[in-house]
Amino acid sequence: MCIIITGSPGVGKTSVAKALGKKLGYLVLNEKQFALEEKIGKWDPEEDELVIPLMPYAKALNRLFSEKKNVIIEGHLLCELKTKADFVVLLRVHPELLETRLHLRNYSEEKVQDNVFCEGIDYCKKHLLKNYPKKRIIEVESGKTIKETLNRIIKGLKEKEAKI
């Protein structure tokens, strides 16, 4: 099974993906790590981040999903892509908690507010609904612990798999 885990920065994608990968025995990749390995994207020194062109990136992901069957990839850009993933997990967190987490990560005030705004208007969810059938999307509120969030994801995966 190929699984995407996406959501706003700070919702817990990386921690949850690692825990889910360990539990399922799946390869876990980060979107930036994968882009760098595939030599996709360029570093923007002004923004201090990797800018990834979406179409070549989606093609590379689809190639990966064709070659490997047990893989999880996580990242916030993934909601904007249409891929051959079996399921997409959208992690959510209350905007006020997200704001606190991003401040603790020393994000600039502008980036904090941009990400809180995106979480508040369902940016990722709206993009996912354009790119994937609802039966492949699992929306999960991030729990108080990784284990709690993991259990919600596994329950969602089982429910969605049973319907397909």
d(CA 81, CA 75): 11
Question: pTM (2 decimals)?
Answer: 0.91
- Whether residue 154 is contained in a domain is answered as no
Contact 54, 77 (CB under 8 A): yes
Contact 142, 11 (CB under 8 A): yes
Number of independent structural domains in the chain: 1
- Whether residue 33 is contained in a domain is answered as yes
- Whether residue 157 is contained in a domain is answered as no
- Whether residue 18 is contained in a domain is answered as yes
CATH number, position 28: 3.40.50.300
Range of the domain at 98: 2-146
pLDDT at 137: 96
Contact 89, 24 (CB under 8 A): no
- Whether residue 164 is contained in a domain is answered as no
- The torsion angle over the Cα atoms of residues 10, 47, 38 and 17, rounded to 10 degrees, is 0
Supply the Cα-derived Rg of the chain in whole angstroms: 15
d(CA 115, CA 99): 8
Residue by residue, pLDDT tens for the chain (164 residues) are 999 999 988 888 999 999 999 999 999 999 999 999 999 999 888 877 889 999 999 999 999 999 998 999 999 999 999 999 999 999 999 888 889 888 999 988 988 899 889 888 899 999 999 999 999 999 999 878 899 999 999 999 999 888 87
Edge-to-edge order in the sheet of strand 2-6: 27-30, 71-74, 2-6, 87-92, 137-141
